[in-house]
Amino acid sequence: MRFRNSIRLHGQAMSDLRRRVFDRDGNCCVDCGGTNWLELSHNIPRGCGGSDTEENTACRCRACHIKLDLHGQPGHF
């Protein structure tokens, strides 16, 4: 089920969001504090209506991002 009111960014706007979120989170994973394999992670997945906004995104390492998706959060893994 798609939600039409979610904000989707592409290209430079997405790169800018990633930079702002990583700066905000101190370039480390918000869950474990790790600094390797960092990714932009959605708290509410885009597929469930989550938006590409600073409020809905966080810096997570790949392992924590996968754990989040595997523990009941629908995602792309």
Say how far apart CA 41 and CA 54 lie, in whole Å. Answer: 10
Provide the pLDDT for residue 20. 97
Provide the pLDDT for residue 71. 64
Q: Is 39 helix (H, G, I), strand (E, B) or coil?
A: strand
Yes or no: say if 7 and 53 are a contact pair by the CB < 8 Å rule: yes
Residue 41 has which token pair? 């992670």
Provide the pLDDT for residue 73. 54
Residue ranges in the chain whose pLDDT is less than 70: 1-9, 71-77
Say how far apart CA 49 and CA 14 lie, in whole Å. Answer: 17
Provide the pLDDT for residue 38. 97
76: amino acid identity, one letter: H
Instruction: Give this prediction's pTM.
Output: 0.77
Q: What are residue 35's phi and psi, to 5 degrees? A: -120, 5
Provide the pLDDT for residue 32. 96
